A and B are shown apart, each in its own frame.
Chain A
Amino acid sequence: MSYVEVENITKRFGDVTAVDDVSFTAEKGEFVSLLGPSGCGKTTTLRMIAGLEMPTEGTIRIDGDDVTDRPPYEREIGMVFQHYALFPHKTVGENIGFPLKMRGVPEAERRERVADVLERVRLPEVMDRSPEDLSGGQQQRVALARALVFEPDVLLMDEPLSALDRVLREQMRVEVERIQREFGITTIYVTHDQAEAFAMSDRVAVLDDGRLSQQGRPLDIYESPDSEFVANFIGQSSQLSGAVGTPDGTPVLETDAGVTFELPQSVAATTGDRLSVFLRAEKLDVSREPTGAANEFPAEIATTNYLGEKTQFFCRLEDGTELIVAKHGFTDVESFEPGDTVYVSVPPENLVVARDPGTDQQSGTAGESTA
C-alpha cells in the first residue's frame, strides 16, 4: 500500500468536470509532480488532497486513513500556496509558529522550533520581521518552513516557484529539493513547467483536460510518452503522421508530408496502420549536405533562433509542414540563411512513435509546449 493514494477522484463544478477519474499514488518520502497545462485540473486535484475541495467521487487515503471527507484542519497537511499566503499581520516567527499554535504547542517551544526550522531552510534572523519586508525567495522559504514546522504527513505545493524570476526559480528548485530530501517528507507538487517537474521529482503524473495521461519517472515520460498529448506537451517536438507501408519488406512509415521513416525495431507495425512519429527537436541532426544517415530528408530553413545555449532551426518540408530542430552549443549559425536547403536526419531509435487515435490526423503540428 502506498503512503498517499488517490483513487478515481472526480470533481465536477456544475456541468464542468475539472478532474475526471484521476488515480495516482506517492510512496513515503517520494516527490511526485502533477504536470499539465493550465486548466488541466492539477490544482483542483491538489486542493482535494488538502481538503480545500471535496471530490464528487473517489477516495483519498493518507497513510492508510481515508481522509476523503475530512476538513483540511483535520488532515496533517503542509501546503505552500502559489502566492505563499503569508499572513501580513503576523511576523515571520508568528507565521511559522501558526500551525504549532493551532496544535497547542506552548510559546517557548514554538519559538525554539521556529528558530530550528528557519535554520534548516537557511533563513535565520528574520523571525521578528514582517513577511512583507522579505524578498520573493525569502518569502518562499518562510512559506516552506511554515508548511514543514509541524512535521505534517504530506507536503503539498501549488506552483510555488512561478512568482519568482528565472534565475531565482532555478536556485529555488535545487533548494526545495534539498529541503524535501532533508525532511524526507512525501511531497506532491503542482506545476506547468516541465523542467521544474523533471528537475525535482521522483515521479511525474501528466494531466490533460482533467484526466491523467501518464505517470512515471521523468526519463520514462520523456523517452516513451504513451500518448500524443504527452509527446507534444513534454519537450519540443514536431509531429508527422502517416500510414505504414512495406515497399522493401520491412515496415516503414510513409508520412503525409512525403517523408518516409524507418521505424525502430521495437515498434510492431503492420501495413496500413496509422501512426505518428514525434521528432524531438534536439534529437534531430541537421547538415548542409546529405550524409547518407538513416531517415534523412531535405527541408528548407524558415528562420533560425540563436538562443545562446542552443540554436533552433524552424524548417519547412516540401508540403509546408513545419519542423523544429535544436542544436546545442552550435556556433555556425550565421552561415544558415532562411531559404537554404538542409538535410535533417534522425536515427530510428530516436523516434517516438504513437498510434493515431483519430485516423485523419492533420500532420505536422510543430508543437512548442514548454518554454
Chain B
Amino acid sequence: MSERHETRAEDLRPASSQPLRFRVWTAVLRADPVVRGIQVVKRRERLLTVLQAGLGLAWMALFLLAPLVYILSLSFWQRGAGGTIVYEATVANYQEILLQNVDLLGWQIGNTYLLILWQSLKFGFLTTVATLALGYVPGYFLGRTESRYRSLLLLFVVLPFWVPLIIRYYAWILVLGNDGLITTVLGWVGVASNGYLYNDVAVVTGLVQVLLPFMILPIYNTVNKIDDEYIESAKTMGASPLRAFYEVTLPLSLPGISAGSILVFILAVGSFMAPALLGGPANMMVANLISQTFGQAFDWPLASAMAMVYLVVLFAIITVFNRFVGLEEVFDQ
C-alpha cells in the first residue's frame, strides 16, 4: 500500500510550486484512508455498479413504488366523516366508479368517472394522431437533411421546453380567448366571434403544441439512423424517391413513430393543465377529476381507486399496443 502511495507522489510536481488550494486538495486526496477507500472501490468495480444501480432503485422504490403501494391500500379503505379515513377494507370505491349508473345491457353509461376517463382517452388519441400528422415531416426532414443548420433547427424543436408549461397554455388563452388573436384578426375582416376557448378543440390544440417535440424527436432519431445505403439501393433497383420512401424509409421509421405515439399518448391522457386552463367544465380529464376528488371532495379512498383504475386501463392499452407494434424493438434501438 505504501509503495503505491510513493509512486503516486512522484508523479506530481513538487507540492510547493502549486497553488495552495491545489495543495490542500492533494493532501486530502492523498490521505491514507481516502486512498485506501478509493482503492477498495476501484478494486470492486462490481460493488460500484451495484451501489450505483442500488441508489437508483432505492430512489424509485422510495418515490414511486412506495406511494403507489400507499395509494393502492388507500383505495380499499373508506371515507369517514369530514374527510377522515376509516381503515376497514372494502371494494365500495371500485364499485362506485366502475358500476354506478352503468347499464351495460342498455349500453347506457351515466357514470362521471368512466365518461371522463373515456374523454381523456379520446383526447389522448386525437392528440397522438395530430402530433403524428404534424410531426412526421419535420422529424423526417431533420433526420435526413445534411444542412449545417440542423442543430439549430433541433434546438428550435426543444426550445419550448425552456418555457414553463403553464405559460405555454396561457399563451393559448391569448390566442384563442375572447379578445384573443384570432377573434381580433377575424374582427378586422368583419367576422364577429366570441373566442374559441373552453372546448375540446382548445384542449387538444394546446396538448398538440406542447407534446409535438415528443413526437418529432423519436422520429428524427430513427430516421437519422436509417443508412443512406438502403434508400440508395432502393433507387438503383428502380424505386422513385416516393416509392423508396414508402417501401423503405417509412417502414424503417416505424419504431420512432411508435415510440413517439406512446410518449404523446401517455402524456396527453394524463394531462392536467391543458383541460384546467383551456377546457370548460365539460372538457375535464381524468387527472382533474382525481385531483378534485382528492382536494375539494377530500375523498382520498375514492380518488385512490380512480387513480388505480386509470393506471390499469393505461397499462392495458400499452400492452395491447405492444402486441401489435413490439415495443422491445423501439427501446432496443
- A→B interface (CB under 8 Å): 50-52, 71-73, 75, 77-79, 81-83, 85, 87-89, 98-99, 102-103, 146-147, 150, 156
Q: Are B229 and A102 in contact (CB under 8 A)?
A: no
Instruction: Tell me, in angstroms, the Cα distance from A99 to B230 when the chains sit together.
Output: 13
Instruction: Tell me, in angstroms, the Cα distance from A295 to B246 when the chains sit together.
Output: 68
Q: Are B236 and A79 in contact (CB under 8 A)?
A: yes
Q: How many residues of B contact A (CB 8 A)?
A: 17
Q: Which residues of B contact A147 (CB under 8 A)?
A: 236-237
Instruction: Tell me, in angstroms, the Cα distance from A345 to B235 when the chains sit together.
Output: 56
| B239 CB–A CB distance under 8 Å | yes
| B32 CB–A CB distance under 8 Å | no
The 4 A-B pairs with the shortest beta carbon distances in the complex, nearest first, are A102-B238, A99-B237, A85-B229, A85-B233
- A77 interface neighbour in B229, B236, B247, B251, Cβ under 8 Å: B236
Q: Which residues of A contact B230 (CB under 8 A)?
A: 85, 87
Q: Which of B233, B240, B243, B251 has the most CB of A within 10 A?
A: B233
Give B49 Cβ to nearest chain A Cβ, in Å.
31
- B235 interface neighbour in A72, A82, A83, A156, Cβ under 8 Å: A72
Q: Which residues of B contact A75 (CB under 8 A)?
A: 236
Given contacts A102-B239, A103-B238, A150-B238, contact A81 B233 (CB under 8 A): yes
Give A132 Cβ to nearest chain B Cβ, in Å.
12
Main secondary structure of the interface of B (DSSP, over half): helix
Instruction: Tell me, in angstroms, the Cα distance from A146 to B237 when the chains sit together.
Output: 9
Given contacts A88-B252, A98-B247, contact A73 B238 (CB under 8 A): yes
- B236 interface neighbour in A51, A87, A88, A103, Cβ under 8 Å: A51
- B232 interface neighbour in A72, A98, A99, Cβ under 8 Å: A72
- A85 interface neighbour in B227, B238, B243, B251, Cβ under 8 Å: B227
| B234 CB–A CB distance under 8 Å | yes
Q: Are B247 and A81 in contact (CB under 8 A)?
A: no
Instruction: Tell me, in angstroms, the Cα distance from A52 to B237 when the chains sit together.
Output: 12
| B248 CB–A CB distance under 8 Å | yes
Give A135 Cβ to nearest chain B Cβ, in Å.
19
Q: Are A83 and B236 in contact (CB under 8 A)?
A: no
Q: Which residues of A contact B229 (CB under 8 A)?
A: 81-83, 85
Q: Which residues of A contact B247 (CB under 8 A)?
A: 98
Q: Are A87 and B248 in contact (CB under 8 A)?
A: yes
Instruction: Tell me, in angstroms, the Cα distance from A150 to B238 when the chains sit together.
Output: 10
Q: Which residues of B contact A51 (CB under 8 A)?
A: 235-236
Q: Which residues of B contact A79 (CB under 8 A)?
A: 233, 236
Give B244 Cβ to nearest chain A Cβ, in Å.
8
Q: Are A71 and B252 in contact (CB under 8 A)?
A: no
Q: List 24 A-B contacts (CB under 8 A).
A: A52-B235, A71-B235, A72-B236, A73-B235, A73-B236, A73-B237, A73-B238, A73-B240, A73-B243, A77-B236, A78-B236, A78-B237, A81-B229, A81-B233, A85-B232, A87-B234, A88-B252, A89-B251, A98-B237, A98-B239, A99-B237, A102-B238, A102-B243, A150-B238
Given contacts A87-B248, A89-B252, contact A81 B235 (CB under 8 A): no
Q: Which of A98, A146, A147 has the most CB of B within 10 A?
A: A98
Which residue of B is nearest A104, CB measured? Answer: B238
Instruction: Tell me, in angstroms, the Cα distance from A71 to B241 when the chains sit together.
Output: 10
Interface string of B33-74 (1 = CB under 8 A from A): 000000000000000000000000000000000000000000
Instruction: Tell me, in angstroms, the Cα distance from A179 to B243 when the chains sit together.
Output: 30
Interface string of B168-180 (1 = CB under 8 A from A): 0000000000000
Q: Which residues of A contact B248 (CB under 8 A)?
A: 87
